A and B are shown apart, each in its own frame.
Chain A
């Protein structure tokens, strides 16, 4: 049980947390990062390659970790967060206390729980997996179906847990389309004879080089795109999966039988930090993510030393997360400087009163 003081505490050692830390400690602030997992890196630890350039997630993680000299406390379970006159006090399960005038929440996102879409068969049929499971297979350099065989036909299902009122998430996760295309290319590189089908509603590829990735998947890797949202899945006795959907371009009901299906799960808000800071309820959007998402700065900053960055403020790619983290790091610096000034003015004011 000990109490340590810093200039800023960052909750979450993912891309956003690490980026903010690297800028803040370059600016000379004492920063501490708290991470609930055993190792820092956030979702980079469960990903193999990153879109759109197929960079190694592991290498990017190393690079980000090398970028910051701040201490990272791992396996930290936060018990309570309290507001004090000097800022925030974060207490963990070992009763250790971390105090700082500024607190940055960079807790990221939670992949959608695909079991909620029961009609897709995740958790029921063994050959129905998610994009997160597939990344795990990539990391082990072994993609096989439930019976241990190399698949010949795979279908990717877009928008699982996105744009769906039935699972209470009407927003678009923005990164699953490109993730699916990236994974399709990786699969084709591993298993050249594989037939891949992508069942999509709309391909939302707004990021830089995303369209190149899409075109490469079509022209070089012969990935086939079918416009239609999956309606239901059924399993054959040989554990292959039958998909039913409408080919909306042909305007006719359609089916396909595949060895495996990959559900491209959406990015969902992680509300765990909310339980610790119940009074920030008003800073949560209708989609469950933090912040207002507005351009107007006056409605964005509350000037209370609490900041948010990364995928906890909405679905984001790594570049978008780190961009936001850099911006927020400078806001934090500004806040800390202003605070020192007001403190000094207060002291002067007190001196003035005393001497008069």
Chain B
């Protein structure tokens, strides 16, 4: 294949026809995540959001939309401080949810979860 000097990058369309199995699994453990209203209180107060650009709201969104690669990167930034659970107006157990997300994408040598 000749090199034309440009490529076609991956399809960026979110496929809502496909079920996010990881989301279903996390939802089963932490049902309160279904109550997220995407207000962003969690991300605004997050100590790592300044580096990662993500907060709990974004994690849920990535999980729901099946953007697992981005999600795994973002999950690495969480310090489990729990500030997001303090400000959440829907009382979501955010820390537990992040823990469950990390379990879904458990990597070798990841002894934290």
Contacts and interface: CB of A to CB of B under 8 A. Distances in A.
Interface of A: 119, 159, 163-166, 201-202, 227-232, 244-248, 251-254
B37 A253 contact: no
Contact of A119 (B37, B38, B87): B87
A258 to B, nearest CB: 15
Contact of A245 (B41, B88, B89, B90): B41
Contacts of B53: 251-253
Interface string B2-35: 0000000000000000000000000000000000
Given A166-B89, A246-B57, A201 B45 contact: no
A229 to B, nearest CB: 4
B58 A245 contact: no
Given A163-B37, A201-B39, A253 B91 contact: no
19 contacts: A166-B91, A201-B37, A201-B39, A227-B40, A228-B40, A228-B44, A229-B40, A229-B44, A231-B41, A232-B44, A232-B87, A246-B41, A246-B49, A246-B55, A246-B57, A247-B40, A248-B38, A248-B40, A253-B43
B38 to A, nearest CB: 6
Interface in B44-91: 44-46, 49-50, 53-55, 57-58, 87-91
Contacts of B88: 165-166
Which of A163, A245, A252 has the largest count of B CB atoms less than 10 A from its CB?
A252
B85 to A, nearest CB: 10
Bin the interface of chain B by size.
20 to 34
Contact of A253 (B44, B87, B89, B90): B44
Contacts of A119: 87
Given A119-B87, A165-B90, A165-B91, A254 B58 contact: no
A246 B40 contact: yes
Contacts of A251: 53-54, 58
Contacts of B43: 231, 246, 248, 253
A231 B89 CA distance: 10
Contact of B44 (A159, A164, A166, A246): A246
A229 B39 contact: yes
A248 B57 contact: yes
Contacts of A202: 37
Which of A202, A245, A247 has the largest count of B CB atoms less than 10 A from its CB?
A245
Contacts of A163: 37, 89
Contacts of A227: 40
A144 B87 CA distance: 30
Contacts of B90: 165
Contacts of A247: 40
Contacts of B46: 253
B49 A229 contact: no
A165 B89 contact: yes
Contacts of B49: 246, 252-253
A159 B40 CA distance: 13
Which of B39, B42, B45, B91 has the largest count of A CB atoms less than 10 A from its CB?
B39
B44 A244 contact: yes
Which of B41, B45, B53, B54 has the largest count of A CB atoms less than 10 A from its CB?
B41
Contact of A244 (B39, B45, B54): B45
Nearest to B40: A246
Contacts of B44: 228-232, 244-246, 253-254
Contacts of B39: 201, 228-229, 248
A244 B89 CA distance: 16
A201 B37 CA distance: 8
A247 B40 CA distance: 7
A254 B87 CA distance: 16
B30 to A, nearest CB: 15
A85 B16 CA distance: 64
Which of A164, A229, A245, A254 has the largest count of B CB atoms less than 10 A from its CB?
A229
A137 to B, nearest CB: 28
Given A202-B37, A248-B57, A254-B44, 17 more contacts: A164-B89, A165-B88, A165-B89, A166-B87, A166-B89, A201-B39, A229-B41, A229-B44, A231-B41, A245-B40, A246-B40, A246-B42, A246-B44, A247-B40, A248-B39, A253-B49, A253-B50
**9 closest residue pairs by CB, A with B:** A231-B44, A246-B40, A246-B43, A229-B39, A231-B45, A245-B44, A248-B40, A165-B91, A164-B89
